[in-house]
Amino acid sequence: MSPMSKYRKMAHVEISVFAHATEDSEKVAVAIRNLVPALGSNVELALTEMQGHHGNPILRLEAEMAVREDALEALDTLLSRLSSIDEDLLRREFREHLDAKSGLYLRFDKQQAFLGRVSLGSNDPISVRVRLGFQPSSLDELKARLKKERCAKSESTSHGQNT
């Protein structure tokens, strides 16, 4: 099996975040859409009402991108929008963000996302899980595969227009 055919098994992207009682859930939804513009307005955010330890209301917002091309675009966009500092941090800690089943776990700063910035964060973050379908050994390998996929998609699109 070629590396590209292994890559084509990528399943989807899952995004989730909690909106606490002190937060405006609409602003949290804006933060998600700012973080992952590929969601667009056509992807419905699932809302789950929950209760905190002290009875405080919490809302969980979730979105899923199950179309492979959309998932690729979302991941590629997220990685390309990282600051050089965050990219270096992710490069150093990359293996810590992967599980044994080729899941990539990233957490982004909710406040920065609301402002339209992509910044890694761990305090009350927007969580993004990507099922890759392959096990990259590094961030650079992942980015190279995303680039190959973009090129392959571009070539197939241009060939389709010429026939």
Is residue 106 domain-resident?
Answer: yes
39 by Cβ neighbours in 10 Å (0-12 / 13-18 / 19+) ranks as buried
**Which residues form the domain of 39?**
3-155
Is residue 163 domain-resident?
Answer: no
Is residue 160 domain-resident?
Answer: no
C-alpha distances in Å from residue 48, one per residue of 18, 63, 82? 9, 12, 29
Is residue 145 domain-resident?
Answer: yes
pTM: 0.85
What is the distance between the terminal CA atoms of the chain, rounded to a whole angstrom? 28
What CATH number corresponds to the domain at position 117? 3.30.1440.10
Is residue 161 domain-resident?
Answer: no
Q: What pLDDT does 8 receive?
A: 46
Nearest Cα to Cα of residue 29 among 46, 12, 14: 46
C-alpha distances in Å from residue 66, one per residue of 34, 116, 119, 142? 19, 24, 24, 19
Is residue 148 domain-resident?
Answer: yes
Q: What pLDDT does 2 receive?
A: 36
Is residue 149 domain-resident?
Answer: yes
User: 35: which residues sit within 8 A by CB, 6+ positions away?
Assistant: 15, 78, 108, 113, 118, 126, 128
Q: What pLDDT does 1 receive?
A: 35
Q: What pLDDT does 26 receive?
A: 94
* Per-residue pLDDT in tens (0 to 9) along the chain, 163 residues: 334 344 445 568 999 999 999 999 999 999 999 999 887 766 789 999 999 888 999 999 999 988 878 888 889 899 999 999 999 999 999 999 999 988 999 999 999 999 999 999 999 999 999 998 888 999 999 999 888 877 776 676 666 555 4
Q: What pLDDT does 157 receive?
A: 65
Is residue 83 domain-resident?
Answer: yes
Give me the number of domains the chain comprises: 1
Q: What is the 3-state secondary structure (H, E, C) of the chain?
A: CCHHHHHCCCCCEEEEEEEECCCCHHHHHHHHHHHCHHHCCCCCCEEEEEECCCCCEEEEEEEEECCHHHHHHHHHHHHHCCCHHHHHHHHHHHHHHECCCCEEEEEECHHHHHCCCCCECCCCCEEEEEECCCCCCCHHHHHHHHHHHHHHHHHHHHHHHHC
